[in-house]
A and B are shown apart, each in its own frame.
Chain A
Amino acid sequence: MSLQIFELVLFTILAAATPLVIAAIGELIVERAGVLNLGVEGMMICGAATGFAVAILTDSSEIGVLAGILAGMALAALFGLLTIFMAANQVATGLALTILGLGLSGLIGAQFIGLKRESLGHLYIPLLSDIPLIGKLVFSQDVFVYAGWALVVGTAWFLSRTRAGLTLRAVGENHASAHALGIPVRKIRFLAVLFGGACAGLAGAYLSLAYTPFWAPGMTAGRGWIALALVVFASWRPLLAFAGALLFGGATVLQLHAQAASIGLPGQLLTAVPYAATIIALIILSLRHRRGGAAPASLGVGFVPER
């Protein structure tokens, strides 16, 4: 393989991994606070539809991105209201959120099917961007890729080094103890859920404004679920979630190349490769961390303080 093809493959892998990274980091923060939001797919696709629609209407991708983020947050706020303040079951509410999001996105995007927009621009820094390989991979990405990287590093630092991060982990670890110490458990959880919604919305906007710059119903294609799985098998650690997303992105891109090279396997089988590869890799990872302890102890358990 020539350097150019190699470069191109790596470049597309990074692009394919980006929505997973962003959505997984958002959900990771939510789960570290002790909340299980299974509605990632729904928030993500609403972000994609809203982002694209607003970008068309305002003719501004930037405003579109912002709208995508807000759409994810709006759904997350609904989820938070129901599960955190009204103690609804998190699993059922999360699943309902996904169904709601899928339906809503169809409605929002209905007028915009078949339209196209220019992809969001890529960075170009003279000299730096011209370095072979590194220049293309590190200094020529679009803003979403950098946002994903910043989220990974930022959350890793936030969780392990800041007091706010410590408080968030404490809430997810043992909400009764946290409450006894006077930590505002429900407020922190709600903020975490909003952050998760913003990330899912951003990941969705990336899909419809940069990755494939058009709107198609169901275009998230299960990426929200993959992001959820990544969080679990990454043992709730940002850097591992990033590695898992790269693996999935890599498998996606390689199977496309395999199909193009027509190696004689049915296309459907190859399409399944990324999912199977992710599941296998994640199982191996989680076997290594078998003795538990990684999961936030209060994950998925509602909390109602007496007062």
Chain B
Amino acid sequence: MVSQAGKPLVAMRGIVKRFGAFTANDRIDLDIFSGEAHALLGENGAGKSTLVKILYGLLSPTDGEIRLEGDAVRFSGPQSARAAGIGMVFQHFSLFDNLTVAENIALVLPPGETLAGLDERIAEIGRRYGLRLEPARPVWTLSAGERQRIEIARCLLQDPKLLILDEPTSVLTPQEAETLFATLDVLRGEGRAILYISHKLEEVRRLCDRATVLRGGRVVATCDPRAESVRSLAAMMVGTHVVDVRSRGADALGPERLGVEKLSLTAEDLHGVALDQVSLSVRGGEVFGLAGIAGNGQDELFAALSGERTAASAGAIRIDGISVGREGINLRRQYGAAFVPEERNGHAAAPDFSLSENVILSRHATGDVMNGNLVDLPAAARLAREIISSFDVRASGVDPAARTLSGGNLQKFLVGREVSRRPGVLVLNQPTWGVDAAASAAIRQMLIDLARQGAAVLVISQDLDELFEISDRIAVIHHGHVSEPRATRKVTREEIGLLMGGASQHAH
């Protein structure tokens, strides 16, 4: 189906991009042929996003050239890239929440094109590629899958020769991902090229004809992903073998340590989700996985569990049998609970504070770093050093600011900050979001080890791979409802995926 003998549609040659002293792309060559699905693989920070931003005209390269069907091109901005036939679907969608679907699409029409007949054109694209859209709906009411359809339709209106997709399935349910793959197959059949950025290797093996692997800003391999295994692809990306997480044996579970009973909570703002009679129970020695697509009440549940928002009744939340629904976060910590919120910089950590100061932020309540009412700075520094060494956190300098750490290392530090206290209950929200494979594996291992010591661990995550890897039981949160938990061994990803997409369940 792909004739690689011909000229490539896009040829990037010797692309270099420097930000100050940091080289994000180091002499990268990349060929993309018409009709092929080309995967761009690499860890976080490998330079994938920088490279596609250059290709889409968002960044200008420090050096190197781009040839489009043989002719050297220089894009002054995304408009000129779009005019040349390159479209892009962004990872964190480039949509406007308070505008309607049609308005979002109208924004990228070439200058001079009128809005008349736009609704029909959207409907036409929808019929051809299976992208159902309602032009008049405001974007904030839509699911991640629907939002992605807008982005794709927006690109297709301009009849692109190359479509770039940046981590397109990271926010989709398995079923939504299937729909996306079907659309991509149609596009490829029309002779369009697809540049597919992902770290989900199974997907890449299934979808792509060729793969280019980046590491540290350089091309380290070009291969046929179908001829490789997931393991060998991962090894190319990381440079070493990724250790598997050691699973736990079937240990005896202890009594309930974290209990939630009929917890209801109103939405805090326009785009929030209300919690409706949420009940769940996590026992000692157990990792409990709560799956769900972002924006289904996870943040509200986390806030209620941690005490950032209090429940209506004390009995709605219990820690080791003590009713804490009306208590604040510090008292809950004193009862043995610990919390790791989703947002690393700004919620879990103060970006401009040093690591030892960040230790104080969550550990002062339990007295580890306090001397009466005064802060014991040497103790905090000691604790920070302990966390750094026992959880293999790579940080530069003595006690650096939190924001200078990479996402994976900061997350290891923040999980370590809580785990090293040996809490009886640990609640985490998206613990490995945006974290590279090696650090993710380390964090998951920390959680399993903690559970093995008798703690109750609740992991809220969008990443089904992660939940199937580490949790004993899985439930799904959708529109503020939590489904009946199921033993991980007795449930399939498809069943969980359906629940994530909102399939009804008799329990509610």
CB-CB under 8 A from B19, the residues of chain A are 306
A-facing mask of B67-107, CB < 8 A → 1, else 0? 00000000001110110000000100111111100010011
Interface membership of A169, Cβ < 8 A: yes
Interface membership of A137, Cβ < 8 A: no
Taken together as a complex, chains A and B put the C-alpha atoms of A167 and B104 apart, in Å, by 10
Contact assessment for A166 and B103 in the assembled complex, using a CB-CB cutoff below 8 Å:
yes
Contact assessment for B99 and A173 in the assembled complex, using a CB-CB cutoff below 8 Å:
yes
Q: Contacts A163-B115, A166-B106: A173 and B98 contacting too (C-beta < 8 A)?
A: yes
Interface membership of A108, Cβ < 8 A: no
Which stretch from B56-64, B308-316, B352-360, B475-483 is at the chain A interface? B56-64
CB-CB under 8 A from B78, the residues of chain A are 180-182
Interface membership of B251, Cβ < 8 A: no
Taken together as a complex, chains A and B put the C-alpha atoms of A181 and B79 apart, in Å, by 7
Contact assessment for B270 and A291 in the assembled complex, using a CB-CB cutoff below 8 Å:
yes
Contact assessment for A163 and B94 in the assembled complex, using a CB-CB cutoff below 8 Å:
no
Taken together as a complex, chains A and B put the C-alpha atoms of A173 and B97 apart, in Å, by 8
Interface membership of A174, Cβ < 8 A: yes
Which one of B57, B97, B107, B269 contacts A167 once the chains associate, using CB atoms below 8 Å? B107
B-facing mask of A274-307, CB < 8 A → 1, else 0? 0000000000000000011100010000000011
CB-CB under 8 A from A170, the residues of chain B are 96, 99, 103, 107
Smallest CB separation, A188 vs chain B (Å): 12
CB-CB under 8 A from B94, the residues of chain A are 174, 176-177, 180-181
Interface membership of B446, Cβ < 8 A: no
Contact assessment for A183 and B107 in the assembled complex, using a CB-CB cutoff below 8 Å:
yes
Interface membership of B108, Cβ < 8 A: yes
Contact assessment for B270 and A177 in the assembled complex, using a CB-CB cutoff below 8 Å:
no
Which one of A183, A291, A293, A306 contacts B98 once the chains associate, using CB atoms below 8 Å? A293
CB-CB under 8 A from B109, the residues of chain A are 163
Taken together as a complex, chains A and B put the C-alpha atoms of A5 and B77 apart, in Å, by 61
CB-CB under 8 A from B108, the residues of chain A are 181-182
Smallest CB separation, B280 vs chain A (Å): 28
CB-CB under 8 A from A292, the residues of chain B are 269-270
Q: Contacts A182-B78, A306-B19: A166 and B99 contacting too (C-beta < 8 A)?
A: yes
Q: Which of A159-201 contact B (CB under 8 A)?
A: 163, 166-167, 169-170, 173-174, 176-183
Q: Contacts A166-B103, A183-B107, A291-B269: A297 and B60 contacting too (C-beta < 8 A)?
A: no
Contact assessment for B60 and A307 in the assembled complex, using a CB-CB cutoff below 8 Å:
yes
Contact assessment for A182 and B82 in the assembled complex, using a CB-CB cutoff below 8 Å:
yes
Contact assessment for B99 and A182 in the assembled complex, using a CB-CB cutoff below 8 Å:
no
Smallest CB separation, B40 vs chain A (Å): 18
CB-CB under 8 A from A176, the residues of chain B are 94
Smallest CB separation, B271 vs chain A (Å): 8
Taken together as a complex, chains A and B put the C-alpha atoms of A177 and B81 apart, in Å, by 16
Interface size on A, residues (CB 8 A): 21
Taken together as a complex, chains A and B put the C-alpha atoms of A180 and B98 apart, in Å, by 17
Chain B CB count within 10 A is highest, among A179, A181, A293, A307, for A181
CB-CB under 8 A from B99, the residues of chain A are 166, 169-170, 173
Contact assessment for B90 and A182 in the assembled complex, using a CB-CB cutoff below 8 Å:
no
Taken together as a complex, chains A and B put the C-alpha atoms of A297 and B108 apart, in Å, by 20
Q: Which of B331-380 contact A (CB under 8 A)?
A: none
Which one of A179, A181, A306 contacts B107 once the chains associate, using CB atoms below 8 Å? A181
Q: Which of B98-124 contact A (CB under 8 A)?
A: 98-99, 103, 106-109, 115
CB-CB under 8 A from A180, the residues of chain B are 58, 78, 90, 94
CB-CB under 8 A from B59, the residues of chain A are 306-307
Residue of chain A at shortest CB distance from B267: A291
Contact assessment for B270 and A166 in the assembled complex, using a CB-CB cutoff below 8 Å:
no
CB-CB under 8 A from A173, the residues of chain B are 96-99
Taken together as a complex, chains A and B put the C-alpha atoms of A18 and B104 apart, in Å, by 35
CB-CB under 8 A from B106, the residues of chain A are 163, 166
Contact assessment for B270 and A297 in the assembled complex, using a CB-CB cutoff below 8 Å:
no
CB-CB under 8 A from B93, the residues of chain A are 177
Which one of B90, B97, B103 contacts A297 once the chains associate, using CB atoms below 8 Å? B97
Smallest CB separation, B387 vs chain A (Å): 32
CB-CB under 8 A from B97, the residues of chain A are 173-174, 297
Q: Contacts A163-B106, A180-B90, A181-B107: A174 and B96 contacting too (C-beta < 8 A)?
A: yes
CB-CB under 8 A from B82, the residues of chain A are 182
Taken together as a complex, chains A and B put the C-alpha atoms of A3 and B331 apart, in Å, by 70
Chain B CB count within 10 A is highest, among A170, A182, A293, for A182
Residue of chain A at shortest CB distance from B108: A181
Smallest CB separation, A83 vs chain B (Å): 22
Contact assessment for B77 and A182 in the assembled complex, using a CB-CB cutoff below 8 Å:
yes
Chain A CB count within 10 A is highest, among B79, B103, B107, for B107
CB-CB under 8 A from A306, the residues of chain B are 19, 59
CB-CB under 8 A from B81, the residues of chain A are 182
Q: Which of B44-68 contact A (CB under 8 A)?
A: 57-60
Taken together as a complex, chains A and B put the C-alpha atoms of A179 and B108 apart, in Å, by 11
Residue of chain A at shortest CB distance from B90: A180
Taken together as a complex, chains A and B put the C-alpha atoms of A166 and B113 apart, in Å, by 14
CB-CB under 8 A from B79, the residues of chain A are 182
CB-CB under 8 A from A163, the residues of chain B are 106, 109, 115
Q: Contacts A182-B57, A182-B77, A293-B270: A177 and B96 contacting too (C-beta < 8 A)?
A: yes
Taken together as a complex, chains A and B put the C-alpha atoms of A49 and B59 apart, in Å, by 46
Taken together as a complex, chains A and B put the C-alpha atoms of A299 and B107 apart, in Å, by 20
Taken together as a complex, chains A and B put the C-alpha atoms of A163 and B113 apart, in Å, by 10
CB-CB under 8 A from A179, the residues of chain B are 58
Smallest CB separation, B30 vs chain A (Å): 21
Q: Which of B245-293 contact A (CB under 8 A)?
A: 269-271
Smallest CB separation, B196 vs chain A (Å): 19
Smallest CB separation, A1 vs chain B (Å): 45
CB-CB under 8 A from B60, the residues of chain A are 307
Taken together as a complex, chains A and B put the C-alpha atoms of A119 and B270 apart, in Å, by 49
CB-CB under 8 A from A169, the residues of chain B are 96, 99
Smallest CB separation, A72 vs chain B (Å): 29
Q: Which of B368-416 contact A (CB under 8 A)?
A: none
Residue of chain B at shortest CB distance from A179: B58
Smallest CB separation, B60 vs chain A (Å): 6
Taken together as a complex, chains A and B put the C-alpha atoms of A291 and B270 apart, in Å, by 5
Q: Which of A233-288 contact B (CB under 8 A)?
A: none
Residue of chain B at shortest CB distance from A162: B115
Supply 20 A–B pairs (Cβ within 8 Å), ascending by A: A163-B109, A166-B103, A166-B107, A169-B96, A170-B99, A170-B107, A173-B99, A174-B95, A177-B94, A178-B96, A180-B78, A181-B94, A182-B58, A182-B78, A182-B79, A182-B82, A182-B108, A291-B269, A292-B269, A307-B60
**Sample of 18 more A-B contacts, CB < 8 Å, known A178-B107, A293-B98:** A163-B109, A166-B99, A166-B103, A170-B103, A173-B99, A174-B94, A174-B96, A177-B93, A177-B95, A178-B96, A180-B78, A180-B90, A182-B78, A182-B79, A292-B269, A297-B98, A307-B59, A307-B60
> Which are the 4 A-B pairs with shortest beta-carbon distances?
A182-B78, A177-B94, A293-B270, A180-B94
Tell me the B residues contacting A by CB distance below 8 Å: 19, 57-60, 77-79, 81-82, 90, 93-99, 103, 106-109, 115, 140, 269-271
Tell me the A residues contacting B by CB distance below 8 Å: 163, 166-167, 169-170, 173-174, 176-183, 291-293, 297, 306-307
